[in-house]
C-alpha cells in the first residue's frame, strides 16, 4: 500500500545523488543536469513513493532510469543522424557564386525606388496579381503595370552594371531580357 510521505526532503540526498550521477556521466555539468531531471521526475512521481521504504534507493533508481533513458535517446538520435548522412550526398557543389549573385541581386533590389520596389516585391516575390497589388497599395492597376515595367528595367540595368566580365548574367524574370 502506497502512502504519501509526510516528509519528502531530498536535500540530504543531493550529495549522494550528485556523486552517483558523476560516476555515471563522468562530467560535472551532465551530472547536474541528470540530478535535476531525476529530481523533477521524483517530484512528479512522489505519490508512488512508499513512505515505509528508504528515500535514497528510490531516488537512485529514478536517477539511474533517467540516465539509461537519456543514453538510449542519444544513441537513437546518433543512429538517425548517421542514417541521414548515409542518405545525403557526400559532396555538394560550392554555392559561393550563387550566394554572391543573390547578394548582388538583393543589393540592386534594395537600390530601387520605394514605389517600384514595393510593386515588384508584391508581384514578383509574393505572386500577387496586378489587381491584388493595386488594391494592396491603393493605386490604379495601370500605375502598378507602369511601376513594374520601370522596376524591372532599372533592376536589369543595375544587375548588369554589377556583373563580373565573362560571367553569365542574371536573368530578371518577367518582361524582356534585351541585353
Rounded CA-CA distance 159/172 in Å is: 9
| Domain CATH number, residue 143 | 1.10.10.10
Environment class of 2 (CB within 10 Å of its CB; exposed 0-12, middle 13-18, buried 19+): exposed
Overall pTM surpassing 0.85 (yes/no): no
Together in a domain, 19 and 63: yes
- Looking at residue 85, its pLDDT comes to 78
Number of domains in the chain: 2
Query: Over pLDDT 90: what percentage of the chain?
Result: 47
In a domain, 112, yes or no: yes
Together in a domain, 35 and 67: yes
Q: What's the grid cell of residue 15? A: 550529495
In a domain, 34, yes or no: yes
Q: What's the grid cell of residue 57? A: 534507493
In a domain, 5, yes or no: no
Domain around 121: 96-162
In a domain, 173, yes or no: no
Together in a domain, 72 and 101: no
Rounded CA-CA distance 118/109 in Å is: 10
Q: What is the DSSP string of 50-80?
A: -TTS-HHHHHHHHHHHHHHHHHHHHHHHHHH
Q: How many Cα atoms are found within 13 Å in the side-chain-facing hemisphere of 52? A: 3
Environment class of 20 (CB within 10 Å of its CB; exposed 0-12, middle 13-18, buried 19+): buried
Together in a domain, 16 and 76: yes
Asked if pLDDT for residue 1 goes beyond 50, the answer is: no
Together in a domain, 102 and 158: yes
Alpha-carbon distance values, 138 to 61, 86, 132, 135, 148 (Å): 68, 53, 10, 5, 15
Please give the backbone phi and psi of residue 157, each rounded to the nearest 5 degrees, phi first. Answer: -70, -35
pLDDT tier at 173, thresholds 50, 70, 90:
low
Together in a domain, 83 and 100: no
Please give the backbone phi and psi of residue 42, each rounded to the nearest 5 degrees, phi first. Answer: -60, -40
Q: Of 87, 115, 140, which residue sits at a domain end? A: 87
Together in a domain, 67 and 130: no
Tens digits of residue pLDDT in 80-109: 888 887 776 666 666 787 888 888 888 998
For the chain, give the longest Cα–Cα distance.
Answer: 89
Asked if pLDDT for residue 169 goes beyond 70, the answer is: no
Together in a domain, 24 and 67: yes
Q: For 122-143, b where at least 16 C-beta lie within 10 A, e where not — what string?
A: bbbeeebebeebbeebebeeee
- What number of helices (H) and strands (E) belong to the chain? 7, 0
- Looking at residue 87, its pLDDT comes to 79
Tens digits of residue pLDDT in 23-76: 999 999 999 999 999 999 999 998 888 888 888 889 999 999 999 999 999 999
Amino acid at each position: 500500500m502506497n502512502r504519501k510521505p509526510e516528509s519528502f526532503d531530498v536535500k540530504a540526498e543531493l550529495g549522494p545523488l550528485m556523486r552517483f550521477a558523476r560516476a555515471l556521466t563522468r562530467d560535472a555539468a551532465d551530472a547536474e543536469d541528470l540530478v535535476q531531471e531525476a529530481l523533477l521526475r521524483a517530484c512528479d512521481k512522489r505519490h508512488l513513493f512508499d513512505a515505509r521504504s528508504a528515500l535514497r534507493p528510490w531516488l537512485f533508481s529514478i536517477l539511474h532510469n533517467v540516465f539509461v533513458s537519456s543514453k538510449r535517446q542519444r544513441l537513437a538520435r546518433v543512429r538517425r543522424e548517421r542514417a541521414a548522412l548515409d542518405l545525403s550526398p557526400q559532396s555538394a557543389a560550392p554555392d559561393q557564386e550563387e550566394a554572391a549573385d543573390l547578394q548582388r541581386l538583393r543589393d540592386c533590389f534594395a537600390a530601387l525606388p520605394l514605389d517600384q520596389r514595393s510593386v515588384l516585391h508584391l508581384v514578383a516575390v509574393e505572386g500577387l496579381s496586378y489587381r491584388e497589388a493595386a488594391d494592396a497599395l491603393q493605386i490604379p492597376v495601370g500605375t502598378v503595370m507602369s511601376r513594374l515595367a520601370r522596376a524591372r528595367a532599372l533592376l536589369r540595368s543595375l544587375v548588369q552594371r554589377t556583373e563580373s566580365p565573362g560571367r553569365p548574367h542574371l536573368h530578371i524574370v518577367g518582361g524582356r531580357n534585351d541585353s
